[in-house]
Amino acid sequence: MDDDEFNHYSLVNPSTREFRKLSPSPFAFDPSGCVDDYGLGYDSQSDDYKVVSISRSFRSNDNVVSVYALRTNTWKKIESSPYNHWNLGHKSGVFVSGALHWFAGTSTSTVIVALDLADEKFRTVPSLGCVGDNKLSAVDTELTVLGGCLCVSTKWGNRKHLGDEGCR
């Protein structure tokens, strides 16, 4: 999946050489005044691939969440995220166990938020002690998948630490 500078998405399958440029979400904020988190995942209940766009306004910190279904080639608006998606420099959601995951939070805490692709509802993921202390923006921290489990990878100096967030 590729995100160009104006919130247009392209899906590319290198093994089949298929390419699809998606129309922009009709629900997103004006691209010149927002930032997007996004993600691509597979919904096994509907047997469909979905693209999620979380568009956040620079002016208000409100967000609009749109879901694109590959099978129907349509966008729909779902309930907005109850968290501030401020990226930590990483826009793309991490897909594991049927959900896309991002760092999010408030001005005082950090959480890992997940969007279940089947019911299209947000939830928080129980986390390790390193998440929530609001120090994540100062270090190279990212969500990754290791052995089918969601992990937090943190780089302190020249050391990299992995914390298993647990399999579901």
**Using one digit for the tens of pLDDT, what is the confidence trace for 21-44?**
988 888 876 665 566 788 999 999
Residue 8 pLDDT exceeds 90 = no
CATH number of 2-129: 2.120.10.80
Contact 117, 43 (CB under 8 A): yes
Percent of the chain's residues with pLDDT above 90: 30
pLDDT-derived band at 133, boundaries 50, 70, 90: low
pLDDT of residue 110: 79
Among 102, 12, 96, 89, which residue's Cα sits nearest to residue 53? Answer: 102
Confidence of residue 144 (pLDDT cuts 50, 70, 90): confident
DSSP 22-87: PPPPTTSPPGGGEEEEEEEEEETTTTEEEEEEEEEETTT--EEEEEEETTTTEEEEEPPPSSB---
Indicate the pTM of the whole model. 0.81
Q: Which pLDDT belongs to residue 161? A: 47
Q: Across the chain, what does the average pLDDT equal? A: 78
pLDDT category of residue 4 using cuts at 50, 70 and 90: very low
Where on the phi/psi map is residue 110: left (φ > 0), alpha (ψ -120 to 50), or beta? beta
The one-letter code for the residue type at 44 is: S
CA angle centred on 21, ends 16 and 27, rounded to 5°: 140
Selection from 37-46, 143-152, 154-163 with the highest mean pLDDT: 37-46
**pLDDT above 80: residue 132:** no
Domain boundaries, given as residue ranges, for the chain:
2-129
What is the reported pLDDT for 142?
Answer: 80
